[in-house]
Amino acid sequence: MGIVALLLFGVYVLCMYWYIFHSGGGTIPRALQGTAADPVMFMSEKELYLSGEYSKIRNFLFFVATPLEWLVYFMILIMGVSRYFEKVATSQTKWKLLQNAGYLFLLSLLLYVVLFPLDYYRYNLSKSYGISTQGFSSWMRDGIIDFWVSFGMSFIIVSVIYWLIKKSAKRWWLYTWFLTIPFTIFVMFIQPVVIDPLYNDFYPLKNKELEAKILSLAEQANIPAEHVYEVNMAEKTNALNAYVTGIGSNSRIVLWDTTLNRLTDNEILFIMAHEMGHYVEKHIYFGIAGYLLLTLLGLWLSAKCMRWLIGRHGHVLKIKKISDIGSYPLFLLITSVLLFASNPLSNYISRYQEMRADQYAISLTGERESAVTAFQKLTISGLSEVNPQLLVKWFRYTHPPMLERIYKVAENVDEKKEEPLKEVPLKEEQKKEQQKK
């Protein structure tokens, strides 16, 4: 079974390599060529080349990395590594929680070491293309923080799940889901004030004039906001970003300092209006509801699959019963497959919400030209692919591709008042770039 799994993985990698690098696709439709959405109009030849090359490598890594994790989980099971870790953990102490902690530490450490080369390659790739500016020591520090945060979360989740399995082998998935609801809300509440500051420094926006404009915009949208925060990301990346995080009294409007340094006030206000659109249309609550529904379905399917696989192939997987913590890699394998399979649906909903937020921002600010130039700068800063291949869009893109976003914001939201704007006038620096070409 291990040999078959390796062969299937190898065939899959070859197929994805051909699809990403040689199948074509991702070209600009003729109707949009020469418009503000066409990357030729706002990116240099070098940027276009690097964007295409970088995007293909990242897309290929995405489609390879997740199945590679499945393969690792499978090998850990059939080679008896999980069972060995369980024996080591149970032999050291009689306390169940300490046994869980010991097993999870060994498993987490193994996964970290095995997947480290791929993580390092991604980091080095981002740095070589000028996206990441983060030093190796800083990157390692973030990786270690990730390890312990993930370990802490896993310890809580695993301890609860396997306690529930022992209490109710048939309905543990349902009880787990009930506990997922308060846990998810709690994590979202503490995220901005406990978890995020572990990685970066957050402080009130220094530009008080811009903060006043943002808060004025929030007031127009009837959003209760008192402060806008900025975060020091320039030491880690050249990419641009802004977001709204948290719920309740811990909700925050956050701007990366790279965004503040490279976008105009009008472009920043459009991005802020976009984030406010998510708040006004209650996308965060729809997101929580959707996540909880998918979690319910996922836990139910995981319980069914685990019971069937252990009953039929338990001897191969080295699992005697589902309540043994050594079955945890199987749980990770199944939930990861289900999560990957759900990506097209969840991403589709997310893209719809992002498009709605774009439309809201246009209606609130009326800054279509600033919206277009902001998206153009975002594309350049991240070397983003404006029109990805279909599978890439389905499985990777939580936001609409930039080709769609720029074209849509360049149109008038209220078609009754004004004809759609097909092309946004280029600024002087963009005209000079075109003359050079």
Q: What is the mean pLDDT of residues 254-281?
A: 89
Domain assignment present for 37: no
Of the chain, the percentage scoring pLDDT greater than 90 comes to 52
Q: Is the Cβ–Cβ distance between 354 and 399 less than 8 Å?
A: yes
Domain assignment present for 12: no
- The partner residues of 228 in beta bridges, in order of sequence, read 253
- Give me 243's structure tokens: 């977001």
Domain assignment present for 142: yes
Domain assignment present for 317: yes
- The partner residues of 253 in beta bridges, in order of sequence, read 228, 244
29 falls in which pLDDT band (50, 70, 90)? confident
Q: Residue 225: its pLDDT value, please?
A: 66
| C-alpha span between 302 and 321 (Å, rounded) | 15
- In this predicted structure, the answer to whether residue 431 has a pLDDT above a threshold of 60 is no
Q: What is the mean pLDDT of residues 384-397?
A: 91
pLDDT in tens, 313-326: 999 999 988 999 99
Query: Which amino acid, one-letter code, is at 98?
Result: L
Q: What is the mean pLDDT of residues 237-266?
A: 84
Q: Which among 369, 334, 371, 376 is positioned nearest to 355, based on CA atoms?
A: 371
Alpha-helical regions (H) of 232-282: 257-262, 265-280
Q: Residue 37: its pLDDT value, please?
A: 84
pTM, full prediction: 0.85
Q: Is the Cβ–Cβ distance between 192 and 250 less than 8 Å?
A: yes
Domain assignment present for 270: no
CB-based burial label for 420 (10 Å; 0-12, 13-18, 19+): exposed
Mean pLDDT, the chain, integer = 87
- Phi and psi based region of residue 48 (left: phi greater than 0; alpha: psi -120 to 50; beta: remaining): alpha
- Give me 122's structure tokens: 């991604």
8-state DSSP, 399: S
Q: What is the mean pLDDT of residues 206-226?
A: 82
Catalytic residues: 275
The domain total for the chain is: 1
Q: Residue 214: its pLDDT value, please?
A: 86
Highest mean pLDDT among 81-90, 212-221, 224-233, 423-432: 81-90
Q: Residue 288: its pLDDT value, please?
A: 85
Q: Residue 87: its pLDDT value, please?
A: 93
Q: Residue 212: its pLDDT value, please?
A: 87
- The partner residues of 252 in beta bridges, in order of sequence, read 245
- Torsion, Cα 375 381 385 386, to 10 degrees, reads 20
Q: Residue 153: its pLDDT value, please?
A: 92
Q: Domain of 409?
A: 71-201+280-413
Q: Residue 415: its pLDDT value, please?
A: 43
Q: What is the mean pLDDT of residues 70-76?
A: 96
| C-alpha span between 272 and 276 (Å, rounded) | 6
Domain assignment present for 141: yes
Q: Residue 437: its pLDDT value, please?
A: 42
pLDDT in tens, 293-313: 999 999 999 999 999 999 999
351 falls in which pLDDT band (50, 70, 90)? very high
Q: What is the mean pLDDT of residues 342-369?
A: 92
Alpha-helical regions (H) of 168-282: 172-190, 208-220, 257-262, 265-280
Domain assignment present for 207: no
Q: Residue 358: its pLDDT value, please?
A: 92
Place of tokens 């004025």: 216
Q: What is the mean pLDDT of residues 348-352?
A: 94
Distance from chain centroid for Cα 32: 29
pLDDT in tens, 402-424: 999 998 888 743 443 333 333 44
Query: Which amino acid, one-letter code, is at 298?
Result: G
Q: What is the mean pLDDT of residues 391-409?
A: 91
Q: Residue 122: its pLDDT value, please?
A: 95
Q: Residue 215: its pLDDT value, please?
A: 85
Domain assignment present for 240: no
Q: Residue 426: its pLDDT value, please?
A: 47
- In this predicted structure, the answer to whether residue 241 has a pLDDT above a threshold of 60 is yes
